[in-house]
Amino acid sequence: MRKLVPLVVDALLVILFCAIGRRSHEEAVLTGLLKTVWPFAIGLAVGWVVAVVVASRVKEQAAQFDGTTVWSTGVLVWLGTLCGGMVLRVISGQGTAFSFIMVAACVLALFLLGWRAAVRAIN
């Protein structure tokens, strides 16, 4: 159960990122949230799978996978969420303006790496 907490935190932060984005553009948050969330949610899942696979390739870390590490788990989750989300937005015909990509990269980095860095700093 404890190993799922970082995944749940990431998922909630991705939903928050999408809700803030919809609200900042004065779009209906609840009714359109799923349309905005799904590409990033799939990207998040891909990032998590890659992070677990990478950790399993390093024999010392395989039994001790830690979803709260900034490097490499946090970075892989962030990149998977960002890149996967943007690719799926292009495929589905949603917007991917350069400014949106930059804002998404920064906010997702703050969210997905920031909480991990805070946990590490506290511990």
Q: Tens digit of pLDDT for each residue in 55-65?
A: 888 765 556 78
Q: Where are the domains positioned within the chain?
A: 2-122
Among the listed residues 122, 55, 32, the one whose alpha carbon sits nearest the alpha carbon of residue 15: 32
pLDDT recorded at residue 63: 62
pLDDT band at 31 (very low <50, low <70, confident <90, very high): confident
Alpha-carbon torsion, ordered 36, 6, 122, 54, to 10 deg:
-100
pLDDT recorded at residue 110: 98
pLDDT recorded at residue 71: 92
Give the predicted TM-score (pTM) of the model: 0.92
For residue 14, is pLDDT > 90? Answer: yes
What is the C-alpha to C-alpha distance for residues 26 and 16, in angstroms, rounded to an integer? 15
Measure the N-to-C terminal CA separation of the chain; round to a whole number of Å. Answer: 20
Q: Tens digit of pLDDT for each residue in 74-114?
A: 999 999 999 999 999 999 999 899 999 999 999 999 999 99
What is the C-alpha to C-alpha distance for residues 104 and 75, in angstroms, rounded to an integer? 14
Q: Tens digit of pLDDT for each residue in 33-69?
A: 999 999 999 999 999 999 999 988 876 555 678 999 9
Ramachandran angles phi, psi of 54, nearest 5°: -60, -45
For residue 26, is pLDDT > 60? Answer: yes
Tokens standing for residue 104: 């998404």
pLDDT band at 24 (very low <50, low <70, confident <90, very high): confident
